Amino acid sequence: MLQATLGLNLADPALATGVFLMGVKFIFMIGVFTYLVFAFIVVRQIVVMKNTLITPVAPLLQLVSWAHFLTVVFFGLVFLLIL
């Protein structure tokens, strides 16, 4: 059907591999985006937690959560470019 619609010759191994890898990249990027949402929830939740229990180390934990979130953003962009 893809072949008929887009005029692609999927019998060509190079093209079939390209389409397959594009599919893998798409699914992978959905996973990365979902994880990005989780990382943001962690950041927000630490704000709620540190307001509930006030400790001297709460800013450190918040910093770690932001570092985690920004790492996911950075690598998400890297994956988007290199894959």
Partner 1 sequence: MVKIFDSTTEKKLPPQDQEIVHRHVDEYSEVMRAEQPATNIWASYLPKPIGLRFDSQEKSEHVLLVLRQHPFTQVGKILAGVLMFLAPFFASSVGLFSFLPGSYQMSFSIMWWIMTFGFFFSVFIIWFFNVYIITDERLIDVDFHSLIYKDIASAKLDKIEDISAVTGGAIQSIFDFGTIKVQTAGSKVTIDFADVPHPSRVTKLLNELQLEEEKEKIEGRVN
Residue 55 and residue 49 in contact, taking contact as beta carbons nearer than 8 Å: no
- Return residues touching partner 1 (CB under 8 A): 21, 24-25, 28, 31-32, 35, 38-39, 41-42, 45-46, 48-57, 61, 64-65, 68, 71-72, 75, 79, 82-83
CA atoms within a 13 Å half-sphere pointing along the CA-CB vector of 69? 16
| Smallest distance, partner 1 to C-beta of residue 7, A | 26
CB of 41 to partner 1, least distance (A): 6
Q: Closer to partner 1 at the Cβ: 6 or 75?
A: 75
How many whole angstroms from its chain centre is CA 10? 29
Q: Tokens 């450190």 sit at which residue?
A: 60
